[in-house]
Structure formats: C-alpha cells, structure tokens
Amino acid sequence: MSKKNRPAKPEKSPNYPTIPEIALRLLAEFHAAFPQLVIQGVLADNVYGTHAFLDKASAIFGGVQVISNLRKNQTVRFQGQTMHVTTLFTRYPGVRQTIRIRGGDEVSVWVSSARVSVCAHETKRFVIALKYEGEEAYRDLVASDLSWRTLDIVQAHTFRWLIEVFFQDWKAYEGWGQLTKQPDEDGSRRSVILSLLCDHCLLLHPAQLARIQDNMPACTVGTLRDRVKVESSMQFFEDVLSSEHPQEQFALMAKRAKEVFTLNESSKHMVGRDVGRLEPTPSLEYRAKAVMKTA
C-alpha cells in the first residue's frame, strides 16, 4: 500500500518504550546510584546503533565513547558522495592487524575505518569495518567519539562479549535456563534478583574471597559451582561418619534422597503407547490403483 493511502501513524505511547529507551533509562539510574564509578565507554549491539542512543548514552556519563554496530543498509557521505557503508569498505578493504581479545589472547583481524557522516545520524561518526580470521563478511562498528584510535575502538568492542558470559553463567551454570520462569515484569525481575543472590553467595566462597583480596582474577561460576558440589558431598559423608550410628544415618539419608530424586518414565521408548494402525487397508487398494492409472 502506498504511503498516501496508509492511515496516519499513531502517536507513541510513553507506556510502551522502545528497547533503546529502556536501556537509556537503566544507564541513567545506574549512574545516579553509583556516581563514584568511572565509566570509560558504553558498548552495545546493533539494536542500539541509533543517533539518539549514541548521543544520549554518551551524555549520561559526561561525553564518554559509545560503540555499537551499524546496519548494512545505512548510508554514509564520504568525499562528497553518498553510498552504502558496504560500498565504502568495498572500495577501501581492510588491512590485517593484530589485536588483544579482552586484554588476553592476540588474534589477527582485518580492519578498515573512516570518519564519515552517517546520514541517519545527521552527524559524523567513526565507522569501522571489522572481520575476524575465518569470517567471510565484515561487521560494521560505529563510535561516537572521533578522537579514539581505530584499534582502541576495536579492542574496546571485544569487551561487549562479557555480557554473553553472564548469560552463559545465568542459564547454564546457575540453572536458570532450565527453570520455569514467571511471566511478565515480576517474573523477569525475580529471576534476575535470584541470580544476583546466587552470584553474591559465590562471591562469599572462601576461595573466591581469597583471590579477590589478593587482587587476583576471580574464579569462574562453573568451577565454583563444581567446588561447592564436592564440598557439600564431603560434608555429607563427614556428618554421617561422625554420627553415633553411621549405618542407620546413612540408610536414612539414602531413603530421603530417593524420595527427592524420583525416576520418571521416558517417552522416547514408547512402551505401552497406542501407536495406531500403521499398515495398508486392503479395501482401499483399488483407490490407489485408480490414482496410479490416472497419474
């Protein structure tokens, strides 16, 4: 339907903010709650690569660098010409460089960059085409602060992956990915609160506290979880062996364990299921023959 025949666009309701608007509100609340923290940059994926988000997120923390992704269909102005960002970096392909991933391992990447006007942003941005070894297509980064060096922006962007590490811990190692969540806002808030309480408990583990106090890298959630499981098992056996009647105590605990960890029937083996009648019907064979003749 052509634009002239479409109904007028309804006014946006403040009760339904967009994802970038929610993110900006959370950033402002975080800055108000923790003003003592020095923020050097804000990292986000391509959902947040808009003019409003980059400028407003930077302003919240006093003009810091904001790095996001630029969509492939974005147009830029370079040397008086308007073109797609992919066209720009096709003319100026990437150069092989070496960067550190989150301050650790060194990897080879192909990088090309330019300070250009992004048409949708109506201002100049630092746009970077980045491709890791083994990848076929470039990804396009966009940064708000034009005074940074290209490789500094690329290496800073690698820290965005830390949020994926949190998701991995949250879903796999802490078990939230396998649990039933309550829907709506209360459900999302409660699951996050519980996960943060779990993280807090792991931070208080003696081995974790010792590493933090010595300014050493903290242990991973997965290894801490495994350590807690082993310690719990050893504590259980110690309590049983130190009791007055260890055999009776062990038998009681074994009975309780079986009551908690029940066995469920597998649906994969189809034992006792009615699978129906899986065979031809003799009275319908003539229909099959008639269809074959007309085919």
Are 144 and 182 members of one domain?
A: no
Whole-number CA gyration radius for the chain: 29
Q: What is the mean pLDDT of residues 175-180?
A: 60
pLDDT for position 222: 78
Domain end position, chosen among 111, 126, 160? 160
Contact indicator for 95, 107 with CB cutoff of 8 Å: no
266, part of any domain: no
pLDDT for position 55: 94
Q: Is 38 left (phi over 0), alpha (psi -120 to 50) or beta?
A: beta
179, part of any domain: yes
Report the alpha-carbon distance of residue 109 to residue 236 in Å, rounded.
51
Q: What is the number of residues in the chain?
A: 295
Counted domains in the chain: 2
Are 138 and 239 members of one domain?
A: no
Helix ranges restricted to H, the chain: 19-33, 51-60, 85-91, 150-157, 162-168, 184-203, 206-213, 221-241, 246-260, 285-294
Report the alpha-carbon distance of residue 203 to residue 219 in Å, rounded.
9
Are 59 and 152 members of one domain?
A: yes
The SS3 assignment for 221 reads: helix
Contact indicator for 128, 145 with CB cutoff of 8 Å: no
Are 90 and 182 members of one domain?
A: no
Are 238 and 127 members of one domain?
A: no
Range of the domain at 50: 19-160
Contact indicator for 155, 99 with CB cutoff of 8 Å: yes
Report the alpha-carbon distance of residue 54 to residue 41 in Å, rounded.
11
What is the end-to-end Cα distance of the chain in Å, rounded?
Answer: 42
Name which residue leads in pLDDT, 86 or 176: 86
Among the listed residues 196, 159, 189, the one whose alpha carbon sits nearest the alpha carbon of residue 174 = 196
And the tokens for 242? 């130190």
Instruction: Tell me 236's DSSP state.
Output: H
The answer to which of 34-43, 90-99, 166-175, 258-267 has the lowest mean pLDDT is 166-175
pLDDT for position 184: 67
User: Over 90: is that where the pLDDT of 27 sits?
Assistant: yes
Q: What is the mean pLDDT of residues 140-154?
A: 92
Are 189 and 111 members of one domain?
A: no
82, part of any domain: yes
Are 142 and 173 members of one domain?
A: no
8, part of any domain: no
